[in-house]
A and B are shown apart, each in its own frame.
Chain A
Amino acid sequence: DSGVTQTPKHLITATGQRVTLRCSPRSGDLSVYWYQQSLDQGLQFLIQYYNGEERAKGNILERFSAQQFPDLHSELNLSSLELGDSALYFCASRRGTGHTEAFFGQGTRLTVV
């Protein structure tokens, strides 16, 4: 158990809908990262937050947004969903300082039908 909790584990929704994925980082971790992994693809970095502020953006679509709340949990919002958005979405957290490792949650499997 990495200590990073993601909910829900599975999500099935229709095209055009909007969903919210939730991530609770490890206790004391200030950085949260979001990644997308499509079928048989590598992990694509989406976005990073540190202590409530956006720190870096990767290949995140304009239909996607994220935020980190004062209690440090994070949410990834996906809107106007398309079939191609079906993927595993992973959250990772890190202490935030120095050369420390990041710990990943078990992911949310999103299926858009």
Chain B
Amino acid sequence: DAKTTQPPSMDCAEGRAANLPCNHSTISGNEYVYWYRQIHSQGPQYIIHGLKNNETNEMASLIITEDRKSSTLILPHATLRDTAVYYCIVRFGNQFYFGTGTSLTVIP
């Protein structure tokens, strides 16, 4: 599986967009990018995933660069409840390998 690199922490003002970057420069052509988040010690929560096209759902948007070496998760209007650790995972086949993630703090 391709390795991912994320900043260890970020802050975002409540109501503003949170943009969380992820580098996956060794990604191969058939590997998908997945995003999960973990609030405190709860079970990780699925957010979104994509291969090469930008994706949007009710929680977030995923922007993948054309060369697929990096991606950005966008939370359009961050709330205090979005404070969590966000994991970017590149997966092929069956396994999901979690890195250290980005700890996002939404500030009132």
Contact = CB atoms under 8 A, between A and B. Distances in A.
A-side interface size class: 20 to 34
Interface residues of B, number: 22
Interface stretch (B17-25, B40-48, B61-69, B74-82): B40-48
Interface string A79-103: 0000000001010101000010111
A99 B51 contact: yes
A55 B94 contact: yes
A42 B99 contact: yes
Dominant secondary structure of chain B at its interface with chain A = loop
A94 B44 CA distance: 14
Interface of A: 2, 4, 31, 33, 35, 37, 42-45, 48, 50, 55-56, 58, 88, 90, 92, 94, 99, 101-107, 109
Interface of B: 32, 34, 36, 38, 41-46, 49, 51, 87, 91, 94-101
